[in-house]
Amino acid sequence: MFDFDKAEFEEVIAKHIPQSKRALITSALDSSEQYLEILGQQLSGDSATNTFMVVTARRTASTTSVWQAVKSEIFDFFCTESASYTKERKGGESVLNKTIHAITLIVATKFHIGLAVVSPIVTIGLMLALKVGKNVWCDLSGYPAASS
């Protein structure tokens, strides 16, 4: 249930990641954990890149970045028994698919940004967590569970 499954990620990417980001996210499937961390930071705007960026929302007083919020929600999902993700943990249809949708919705709502902007970031975050492994992620991440 909580293993890195390249084929499952490819299926989710094909269905739910915006066309403009599909090649980038798909190519990241074979990348190292370090590259996924850098890519997550770049997609969320946490690190500078040599690309054109359009401001899509006004800055908030929040000190939490989108990338940190994604990783905190992943910690909440994998490492706690919080009620926020009870349905997603039960399985049924693709757990990965349901998890990406749930975390995307929570983070997009917190930051008032579009789902299409957040879903690639969440996908990269889950790739990172699953490549590292659930137990290692929970033991070493250092992210407190997100408040509901």
| 91-132 per-position pLDDT tens digit | 655 788 888 999 999 999 999 999 999 999 999 999 999 998
Do residues 100 and 46 touch, judged by C-beta distance below 8 A?
no
Q: Which residues contact 18 (CB under 8 A, 6 or more apart)?
A: 116, 119, 120
The pLDDT value recorded for residue 86 is 84
The pLDDT value recorded for residue 85 is 87
Task: Kindly provide the b/e burial profile for residues 56-73, where b requires at least 16 CB atoms within 10 angstroms of the residue's own CB.
Answer: eeeeeeeeeebbbbbbbb
Question: What are residue 136's phi and psi, to 5 degrees?
Answer: -65, -45
Q: What is the pTM of this model?
A: 0.82
Walk along the chain (148 residues) and give the pLDDT tens digit of each residue.
578 899 999 999 998 899 999 999 999 999 999 999 999 998 988 876 655 554 444 455 556 789 999 999 999 988 888 888 888 877 655 788 888 999 999 999 999 999 999 999 999 999 999 998 888 888 887 655 444 4
Do residues 26 and 47 touch, judged by C-beta distance below 8 A?
no
